[in-house]
Amino acid sequence: MLPLATLPGSMDAGTSLIVIVALIGASAFFSMAELSLAAARRQRLRQMADDGDGRALQVLAVQEQPGHYVTVVQIGLNAVAILGGIVGEGALTPTLTRWLGAVMAPETAQTAGFLLSFLAITAVFILFADLFPKRLGLSNPEAVALQLIGPMRALTGLLKPVVWVFDKAADALFALFGIKTTRDDRVTHADILAMAEAGAAGGLLAHEEQQLIANVFELDTRTVESAMTARDRIVHFLRDDPPELIRARITSNPHSTYLVCDGDIDHVLGYVDAKDLLIRVLNQQSIELDAEGVLHKVLVIPDRLTLSEVIEQFRTAHDDFAVIMNEYSLVVGVITLNDVMSTVMGDLVSPWAEEQIVRRDQNSWLIDGLTPIPDVLRALELDELPHQGQYDTLAGFLMVMLRRIPRRTDCVSVAGHRFEVLDVDNHKIDQVMVTRLPGETGA
């Protein structure tokens, strides 16, 4: 057997070029095998496996324990790189040196020929053995991984003794530095939101669909106060209200559910369903609130619950209406399952969000004081506001920033925007003008 150093000299130029092409093909194979395994999506592979593709199960198994697979890839890539340099230098350097010798000194031609040979071989390997196959592997990683898993498993078996030695050495290094060798495949809500955003940017998801996904995850952070009907907007009855007043109030303020109180709104007795009252009217029965079967027991929840916790309360109580009370047993609002779902669906079903935030032009908005902060941030394209977590609405934000009850014309300038109070009704902030400050850019 010839020594490795003498190998190039024993080949003519044609044979060397054939060997180089073969090495490029081998390097491309290992590059695609490496990138496709790493980029293959486990959810997509599981779907393929469920559809009966056994190769998908093999790829999933390798992703769980990729040590042997990666070792074979690295052995192949490094072996090809070394052989490519040896064969390539011997294939092109003599020819290039001979051509250059016609126009320059022999020593200079030898050096220039070597450099040009090195650059040419390196460029060819980078393009055809690295960039092109890796991009190909990333463009459709699952399909590529399925095609290559069989040959790679065969190579793993063929090189098993060598792979074992390198694996043990690598495991020792991982243990020495305390690094985990298992892959964490848990998918967090941030991962899902990032995928949805990428899908929307690529045109695979509509903006409304992306926003719907984001709204679902906001249920764990939004408090019940961000979706409730506030105390001053609650249409309620008193227990001794006459039928004529009940009819008039339902006619002027049609709702599906009405709170029933004793004396004032903070003494809740229960609620009545408008459908039940309609049935009683059609059956020519009395709609007095103390009649048997009219009043229903009401679910009472604290004002610090998140919307996801509210859904759980509804599920447990088998109800879809609740009264919200604070720590002083005062009613602060009411909420229905439809209110929570409207928060999720956003602009798709709820015109109320449009009424709360009205965009006047590219740099100004008219916003209701009771607008939830997540909606304000979304409209203004902001990530956060100062002291976030201490308030739930735009009115609460202004109170925290001013450290007092805001008055008309009060303003705060933060986060590149100016928040000016336009209308205050009995200490309640009705309208706020938000203006983007000069120099700030928006979408």
Per-residue pLDDT tens for 132-151?
Answer: 888 888 888 888 888 889 88
| Same domain as 132, residue 18 | yes
| Same domain as 270, residue 413 | no
What is the CB neighbour count within 10 angstroms for residue 257? 17
| Same domain as 212, residue 239 | no
Helix (H, G, I), strand (E, B) or coil at 407: coil
| Same domain as 170, residue 32 | yes
| Same domain as 383, residue 245 | no
As beta bridge partners, residue 433 has 366, 420
**CB 11 within 8 Å of CB 19:** yes
CA 166 – CA 163 distance, rounded (Å): 5
184 occurs within a structural domain: no
Domain boundary among 297, 324, 346: 346
442 occurs within a structural domain: no
**pLDDT, tens digit, 9 for 90 and up, residues 381-419:** 888 899 888 888 899 999 999 999 999 999 999 989 999
35 occurs within a structural domain: yes
How many CA atoms within 13 Å lie on the side-chain side of 364?
9
Phi, psi of 294 (to 5 degrees): -85, -45
| Same domain as 303, residue 254 | yes
182 occurs within a structural domain: no
441 occurs within a structural domain: no
Domain boundary among 317, 346, 375: 346
120 occurs within a structural domain: yes
**pLDDT, tens digit, 9 for 90 and up, residues 231-242:** 888 999 998 899
183 occurs within a structural domain: no
| Same domain as 231, residue 206 | no
| Same domain as 153, residue 17 | yes
**Residue keyed to tokens 């390539």:** 88
DSSP 8-state assignment for residue 305: -
Q: Which domain does 412 fall in, by range?
A: 351-436
Q: Which of 108-122, 188-202, 346-360, 364-378 has the lowest mean pLDDT?
A: 346-360
**In whole angstroms, how far apart are CA 313 and each of 49, 59, 219?**
38, 43, 14
Please, is 361 exposed, middle or buried when counting C-beta atoms within 10 Å of its C-beta (0-12, 13-18, 19+)? Answer: exposed
Q: Looking at the predicted structure, is the pLDDT value of residue 45 above 80? A: yes
* Angle, alpha carbons 193-343-410 (nearest 5°): 100
**CB 386 within 8 Å of CB 374:** no
Q: Looking at the predicted structure, is the pLDDT value of residue 354 above 60? A: no
**CB 75 within 8 Å of CB 95:** no
CA 79 – CA 68 distance, rounded (Å): 16
Q: Which of 93-97, 146-150, 283-287, 300-304 has the lowest mean pLDDT?
A: 93-97
Count of domains observed in the chain: 4
CATH number at residue 414: 3.30.465.10
pTM over 0.85: no
Q: Is the dihedral of CA 20, 22, 23, 28 positive or negative?
A: positive
| Same domain as 210, residue 228 | no
Domain boundary among 147, 177, 207: 177
Per-residue pLDDT, averaged over 344-355, amounts to: 58
Tokens for 244?
């004529």
| Same domain as 393, residue 412 | yes
443 occurs within a structural domain: no
**In whole angstroms, how far apart are CA 108 and each of 9, 111, 114, 117, 398?**
21, 5, 10, 14, 77
pLDDT for the residue numbered 11:
58
Type of residue numbered 233: R
| Same domain as 123, residue 15 | yes
| Same domain as 337, residue 403 | no
